[in-house]
Structure 1
Amino acid sequence: MSTVLFDLFGVIARPQSTEGKDRLVRTAGVSAAAFWDAYWALRPPYDRGETHGPGYWRQVADCLGTHFDDHRIAELIEADIAGWSAVDDTMVALIEELAAQGRRLALLSNIPEELASYYLARHTWLNHFQVRAFSCRIGHAKPEPDAYRWCQQALREEPGRILFVDDRQDNVRAAEAIGMRGHLFTTSARLRECLAQEETAR
Structure 2
Amino acid sequence: MPTDRRIVLFDLFGVIALHQRPGALAEMAARCNAPADAFAEAYWACRPPYDAAQQSAPEYWTAVLRWLSVPVDADTIEQLRLADIDSWSRVDGRMVAYAQSLRDFAEVALLSNIPSDHADSFVAAQPWLRNLDHVAFSGKISAAKPDPAAFHHCLAAMRAAPADFLFVDDREENVRAAQALGMNGHVFTEVDELAAAIDTWLPTGTA
Q: TM-score range by the shorter chain?
A: over 0.9
Unaligned runs of 5+ in 1: none
What is the distance in 2 between the residues matched to 1:146 and 1:43? 18
Contact kept? 2:21, 2:88, Cα under 8 Å:
yes
> SS of the residue aligned with 1:192?
helix
- Runs (4+) of structure 1 exceeding 4 A deviation are none
Deviations 1:112-148 (A, max 9, x none): 1121011111111101222211101111100011111
Across the two proteins, how many residue pairs are aligned to each other?
Answer: 201
Q: Deviation of residue 200 (structure 1)?
A: 5.5
Match of 2:97 among 93, 118, 143: 93
For structure 2, the 5+ residue unaligned runs are: none
C-alpha separation in 2, matches of 1:19 and 1:61: 19
Q: Distance in 1 between matches of 2:191 and 2:95?
A: 6
What is the TM-score when the length of structure 1 is the normalising length? 0.95
Which residue among 3, 6, 18 is the counterpart of 2:7?
3
Structure showing the higher helix proportion among its residues: 1
Residue identity over aligned pairs, in percent, reads: 42
The counterpart of 1:170, out of the listed 145, 170, 173, is 173
Q: TM-score, normalised by structure 2?
A: 0.93
Which residue of 158, 171, 194 corresponds with 2:197? 194
RMSD over aligned Cα atoms: 1.4
Matches within 5 A, 1:104-123: 104-123=107-126
What amino acid does structure 2 have at the position aligned with 1:11? V
The equivalences for 1:1-202 within 5 A come to 1-99=5-103, 101-199=104-202
* CA shift in 2, pair 1:158/1:200, >3 Å: closer
CA deviations on 1:27-81 (whole Å, 9 max, x unpaired) are 2321122111111111111001111111110111111111231111111011101
SS of equivalent residue, structure 2 residue 198: helix
CA contact (8 A) 1:4 1:104 kept: yes
Deviations 1:5-25 (A, max 9, x none): 110000010001113222222
- Whole-Å Cα distance in 1 between the matches of residues 203 and 55 of structure 2? 46
